[in-house]
Amino acid sequence: MQVISSKDNELVKHIKKLKDKKYRDENNEYIIEGVKLIEEAVKENAKIKKVIICEDTTRTYEIPTNIMLGIAKYECVYVTDKIFSFITQVTNPQGIMAIVEKNTKGQEIDYTQDIIIALDDVQDPGNLGTILRTVDSIGLNQIIVSKGTVDAFNSKVVRSTMGAIFRINIIEVENLQEAIKTMRKHHFKLLVTSLQTTKSIYDIDFTKKIIVIGNEANGVSKEIQDMADEKAKIPMLGKAESLNASVAAGIVMYEYVRQKLNNN
């Protein structure tokens, strides 16, 4: 078994470069790390290009036997503990990572969905990852993201999706306003959350809606606010004036779930 032990190795250099968005885009690849994500990638038939394993895994990281059996059909490369520590992007690595090809489902919007979630320059990787995970949990298969939204294949985003990254089609649009205009032509109406309304999200019919989640600091842009067919606020009984973007997104999405369950 050959074990890579040099930082000058071309694969090691390639993995390090994949931390950069531009390089990820050029190569159409990204990194996943840890037992859970590897397991999800195998289960979802993600396009795994290579699996990188720390040679010291049996003593230090204890990767489960079923995971080792699951990755056997892929090209596996072993590296020393020192090299794994050099290329890992997590604080407490589990000794296994993989290079995965980005989802190539295409950039066509699926208009058969009940609702479409769109993100207007969401910046925090944790927020984006949590929103993707929530979108997956309510049975949607896509999300629309503005050009200014944090890269969905950022390692922090990928980790916080807990595997949803393999199931959600992430559609990046150059101009979110123009994309919304196109979606409206397919009989969808634009809903934005706003404090400038008396309507609650519980007053809204969540049928054929585009739901825009805004930037953490500035909320939904004024241009998109002005386009809204409906505005609604999340009722709050305490003194807080606003909610975390991913929390607000979850509350709105689960009102859609509640209505769907009641209608069924």
Q: What is the pLDDT of residues 183-202, one digit of tens each?
A: 999 999 999 988 888 899 99
Domain boundary among 48, 67, 101: 101
* Pair 192, 157 in one domain: yes
Q: Summarize pLDDT for 204-229 with one digit per residue, the tens.
A: 999 999 999 999 888 899 999 999 99
Task: Band the pLDDT of 133: cuts 50, 70, 90.
Answer: very high
Residue 52 counted as domain residue: yes
Residue pair 223/182 in contact (Cβ under 8 Å)? The answer is no
* Pair 12, 132 in one domain: no
Residue 56 is predicted with a pLDDT of: 77
Q: Summarize pLDDT for 51-79 with one digit per residue, the tens.
A: 999 987 655 567 788 888 889 999 999 99
**Based on the structure, what is the number of domains in the chain?**
2
* Pair 133, 253 in one domain: yes
Domain boundary among 78, 101, 124: 101
DSSP letter, residue 215: B
Element (H, E) at 67: helix 65-70
Q: How far is CA 206 from CA 50, 115, 149, 154, 257, in A?
A: 42, 7, 24, 31, 9
Task: Band the pLDDT of 2: cuts 50, 70, 90.
Answer: confident
* Pair 123, 249 in one domain: yes
* Pair 146, 194 in one domain: yes
Q: Which domain holds residue 231?
A: 115-263
* Pair 57, 136 in one domain: no
* Pair 151, 45 in one domain: no
Q: In what order do the strands lie in the sheet with 29-33?
A: 3-4, 76-79, 48-54, 96-101, 29-33
* Pair 146, 228 in one domain: yes
* Pair 32, 57 in one domain: yes
224: CATH: 3.40.1280.10
What is the Cα gyration radius of the chain? 21
Residue 60 counted as domain residue: yes
Residue 107 counted as domain residue: no
